């Protein structure tokens, strides 16, 4: 720890609040020189926990003294960040996860092992059940649902198609202008059954939900420009009118907290912020709605 202003020979003392926590915090974290101890209590507390207080600037606290403090929480976070960074081998500064996430080292190794087994004739389909179950459980924990209500498939449009096919004839589907095609086209394909798709600006989505609206199909984050849907307002509007919501989480899950239990259905591709291969997709359904999907769809949800 660098000597504070006042010289290197000033005596050191233990911060009183650290006296019972030295093993956890470390001597270096809990030592203050006598000159530091004479500062205000607020500055001492801020310095000790590594949280910079601008009001202490100019009171004899220089940058070295601020940034040399050991903070166990920050150290743990830095360690996790370093471990995460070690998972990637990008040759460039990569800022395009919104289009295509990079595979972590461990995922790439697992994929290569499976491909090698397949090529060598040693692959066994039942061996895939365990990683599939683990993926369902991880996704369920990420979006706040029971894993029994999670299905794994290949594309958002496939799952949106399941929901579209289950709508009653003549239903109105509300979406936003410029919405991604995977969440819109499956409903347009049902036009021969009288399914009507109505588009409104994103900022007016919740206000546009009416008693005629059977389903709202929208992305949590817009692919075109990154705008976020007001999910709290949408949930409230849907509850007031009896409409259901199909939420596309492709651009959200992995960085934006999503509580899938609030929505009738959610679906999201895994190849962006979840860093999975293309052809990976997740679907959630509220338990009471699973039996309202057609027999083939119901079998898919229960068997996956």
pLDDT band at residue 70 using 50, 70 and 90 as cut-offs: low
Strand partners, 199: 175
- Could you give the CA distance from residue 216 to residue 160 in angstroms, rounded to a whole number? 12
Q: Is the pLDDT of residue 248 over 70?
A: yes
pLDDT at position 132, please?
93
**Alpha-helix residue ranges (DSSP H) falling in the chain:** 22-25, 27-30, 34-37, 41-48, 63-67, 72-85, 105-119, 129-143, 156-166, 185-188, 205-208, 231-241, 295-303
pLDDT tens for each residue of 227-245 = 999 999 999 999 999 999 9
pLDDT at position 293, please?
82
pLDDT at position 92, please?
94
If one compares 53 and 81, the residue with the highest pLDDT of the two is 81
Q: Is the pLDDT of residue 193 over 90?
A: yes
pLDDT band at residue 18 using 50, 70 and 90 as cut-offs: very low
Q: Which of 39-43, 71-75, 169-173 has the highest mean pLDDT?
A: 169-173
Q: Is 60 helix (H, G, I), strand (E, B) or coil?
A: coil
CB contact at 8 A, 60 and 15: no
CB contact at 8 A, 45 and 56: no
pTM beyond 0.85, yes or no: no
Mean pLDDT of 171-197: 96
Q: Is the pLDDT of residue 49 over 70?
A: no
Residue 250 burial class via C-beta count within 10 angstroms: exposed 0-12, middle 13-18, buried 19 and up: buried
Mean pLDDT of 94-101: 94
* Residue partners of 229: CB distance under 8 A and separation at least 6: 176, 202, 205, 218, 219, 220, 221, 222
pLDDT at position 292, please?
85
Worst-scoring range by mean pLDDT, 52-56, 139-143, 191-195, 271-275?
A: 52-56
∠ CA 155-160-162, nearest 5°, is: 105
Q: Is 162 helix (H, G, I), strand (E, B) or coil?
A: helix
CB contact at 8 A, 249 and 274: no
Average pLDDT over the chain, rounded to whole?
81
pLDDT band at residue 254 using 50, 70 and 90 as cut-offs: very high
Mean pLDDT of 203-220: 97
- Could you give the CA distance from residue 165 to residue 175 in angstroms, rounded to a whole number? 17
- Could you give the CA distance from residue 132 to residue 135 in angstroms, rounded to a whole number? 5
In 3D, which of 132, 152, 149 has the Cα closest to residue 141? 149
Strands 172-176 and 213-219: what pairing? parallel
Burial 88-104 (b: 16+ CB within 10 A, else e): eeeeeeeeebeeebebb
Worst-scoring range by mean pLDDT, 37-41, 76-80, 162-166?
A: 37-41
Give me 138's structure tokens: 């991880």
Q: Is the pLDDT of residue 198 over 50?
A: yes
Q: Is the pLDDT of residue 52 over 90?
A: no
pLDDT at position 298, please?
43
Q: Is the pLDDT of residue 273 over 60?
A: yes
């Amino acid at each position: 720890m660098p000597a504070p202003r006042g010289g290197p020979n000033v005596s050191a003392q233990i911060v009183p609040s650290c006296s019972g926590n030295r093993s956890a915090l470390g001597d270096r974290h809990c030592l203050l020189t006598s000159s530091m101890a004479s500062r205000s209590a607020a500055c001492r507390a801020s310095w000790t926990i590594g949280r910079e207080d601008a009001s202490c600037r100019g009171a004899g606290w220089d940058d070295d003294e601020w940034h040399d403090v050991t903070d166990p929480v920050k150290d743990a976070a830095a360690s996790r960040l370093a471990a995460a960074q070690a998972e990637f081998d990008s040759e460039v500064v990569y800022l395009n996860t919104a289009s295509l996430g990079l595979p972590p080292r461990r995922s790439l190794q697992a994929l290569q092992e499976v491909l090698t087994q397949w090529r060598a004739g040693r692959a066994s389909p039942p061996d895939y059940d365990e990683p599939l179950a683990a993926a369902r459980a991880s996704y369920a924990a990420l979006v706040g649902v029971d894993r029994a209500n999670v299905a794994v498939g290949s594309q958002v449009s496939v799952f949106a198609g399941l929901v579209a096919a289950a709508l009653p004839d003549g239903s109105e589907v509300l979406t936003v202008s410029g919405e991604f095609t995977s969440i819109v086209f499956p409903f347009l394909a049902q036009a021969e059954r009288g399914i009507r798709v109505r588009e409104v600006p994103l900022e007016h989505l919740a206000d546009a939900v009416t008693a005629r609206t059977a389903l709202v199909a929208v992305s949590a984050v817009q692919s075109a420009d990154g705008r976020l849907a007001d999910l709290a307002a949408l949930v409230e509007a849907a509850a007031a009118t009896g409409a259901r919501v199909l939420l596309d989480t492709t651009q959200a899950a992995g960085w934006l907290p999503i509580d899938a239990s609030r929505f009738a259905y959610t679906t999201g591709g895994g190849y962006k912020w979840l860093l999975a291969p293309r052809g990976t997709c997740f679907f959630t359904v509220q338990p009471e709605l699973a039996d309202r999907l057609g027999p083939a769809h119901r079998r898919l949800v229960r068997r996956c």
